[in-house]
Structure 1
Amino acid sequence: MFPAPFRLFFAVVPLLVAAGALAMAAFPRRMTRWNLRSPDGSTQTIEPSGTRILLMRVMGIIVAGLALFMLYASFTILP
């Protein structure tokens, strides 16, 4: 039996990873948009292509699923 801080670590880390991955899947444009400033002071917004947005959504769901499976497995294997 592991002490409480270790059990808390094995519960919190997968939940944080799953939350970040679901945020990436839900808002891919917001998380990858960035502004480019030129020397004259003008700005240009750079956004990713549609294929990259789709792949970010798919990978966000996959990573969140793996993190939640890790949470389940850690409590199953380490009681």
Structure 2
Amino acid sequence: MFLAPFRLFFAVVPLLVAGGALAMAAFPRRMTSWQTRSPDGSTGTIEPSDTRILMMRVVGVVVAGLALFMLYASFRILP
């Protein structure tokens, strides 16, 4: 039987990973757009392509699913 801090660690880390992955899947443009500033003072934005946005959404959902599976498995293996 593990101590409470270890059980908390095995519960919190997968939840944080799943939350970050779902945020990446839900808001890919907000998380990957950059603002640039040229030497003359004008600003611009760099946007990723639509294929990259789609892949970020797919990978975010897959990583969140794996993290939630890790959470389930850790409570099944570690009583």
TM-score by length of 1: 0.99
Query: 2:15 corresponds to which residue?
Result: 15
Query: 1:72 matched to which residue of 2?
Result: 72
Q: How big is each residue's C-alpha offset from its partner over 1:23-73, in whole Å with a ceiling of 9 and x where there is no partner?
A: 000000000001111011111100100000000000000000000000000
Alpha-carbon distance in 1 for matches of 2:52, 2:71: 28
Query: Among the aligned pairs, what percent are the same residue?
Result: 85
Unaligned runs of 5+ in 1: none
Aligned length: 79
Q: Distance in 1 between matches of 2:43 and 2:33?
A: 13
CA distance in structure 2 between the partners assigned to 1:11 and 1:37 by the alignment: 42
| TM-score, length basis structure 2 | 0.99
Could you tell me which residue of structure 1 aligns to residue 53 of structure 2?
A: 53
| 1:39 equivalent in alignment to 2:60 | no
SS in 2 for 1:35: strand
